[in-house]
Chains A and B, each alone.
Chain A
Amino acid sequence: MTEAVSRNGMEDLAGLADRYLEMLLDGDRREAIGLVMDAVQRGVPIKEFYLKVFQPVQYRVGELWQRNRISVAQEHYCTAATQLAMAMLYPRIFQTPKTGLKMVGTCVEDELHELGIRMVADFFEMEGWDTHYLGASTPTESVVETVRKVRPDVLAVSVSVTVHLPALMDLVRAVRQLPEGGRTKIMVGGRPFNLSPNLWERVGADGWAADAEGALRVAAQWVRGSAA
């Protein structure tokens, strides 16, 4: 990718996000996904696309529903379209050589907002981690069982809605009780953590991140720390 393409790509992303959202709100999923694929084909890095198009668009979709500007059905349509667009990028995402590091990514039990943690898992995959993405509302015992089997370096857990914090605290306690639990660092993220400083400590996690890029940075520090 040339610097010019990169610079143009960066400059265009806010406008691209506007157009992408507009197409989704018009119910034109095919056009919206075409926009994504064309941009990636032109050389816009997938991570940039995630952070500067998918993420802000999804925030705006949530706000539009909150203010009653769009219906629940429209909100679900936009989210499903973005999930489809992300899935179509997987042939590119899953070609990264593996490092041997393992990550489990999940939403806490009853939490349905899975796009954020899915982005986090994809960022780890792009960095060569072997990712086990469990998706929305995964029962606590299933997450614990996965950690027991996979023995990941990082367990990343997402909570978007404050009401699910007790379930997260239960999950953290349960993972800590595993004999193998000590080797797994627990990272948390989601709206409550973006709002409230040090909340991650109060729920018993090892760290937190505001977005997928931040999650990778935190994990890299942990890996460096354990290698030292």
Chain B
Amino acid sequence: MSGSALEPLPAEVLVRLASVREVVAAKVVVRLGLSASAGEKVKAGVLFTLRMLEAVAAVGDGILLEDQMRWALDRLPHDGIPPRMLARNLEVLREVLREEMADAWSGALESYCVRMVGMAREAADAEG
């Protein structure tokens, strides 16, 4: 997994993604069954992840997506989110996103999610 090209998403899909940001973040927190304080932290992280996804999908860039994931996997454990938890959060994010974006879901959008989850899962497995 290294920087291979990802297809840019059409402008209307990016607009749609931005419009469901808040709803998706709220649903992810509910589905993860987190406490109020943990929920706030994860919600902020999900909102940032969605904005990052919109940014990399606007230019179709796997290198940037992977750089952001590497950054997250390096930094987030210090903020109490180890790779295993990040992988779980991203899996739930993918589920919710797929539901909320059902009419605009595509292989291209799926490939961004697959790559994020894959990197987090790989880091979690490496931890043992």
Contact = CB atoms under 8 A, between A and B. Distances in A.
B113 interface: no
Given A67-B78, A162-B67, A199 B61 contact: yes
B105 interface: no
Interface in A141-196: 162-166, 169, 191-192, 195-196
B90 to A, nearest CB: 16
Chain B, interface SS category? helix
B116 to A, nearest CB: 13
Report the interface size class on chain A.
10 to 19
A162 B64 contact: yes
Contact of A166 (B54, B64, B68, B74): B54
Report the interface size class on chain B.
20 to 34
A133 B8 CA distance: 33
30 contacts: A66-B71, A66-B74, A66-B75, A68-B75, A68-B78, A162-B52, A162-B56, A162-B68, A163-B48, A163-B55, A164-B55, A165-B56, A165-B58, A165-B59, A166-B14, A166-B55, A166-B58, A192-B61, A192-B64, A192-B67, A195-B67, A196-B59, A196-B61, A196-B63, A196-B64, A199-B59, A199-B61, A202-B59, A202-B61, A203-B59
Interface of B: 8, 14, 48, 51-52, 54-56, 58-61, 63-64, 67-68, 71, 74-75, 78
Given A195-B63, A202-B60, A163 B74 contact: no
Contacts of A203: 59
Interface of A: 66-68, 162-166, 169, 191-192, 195-196, 199, 202-203
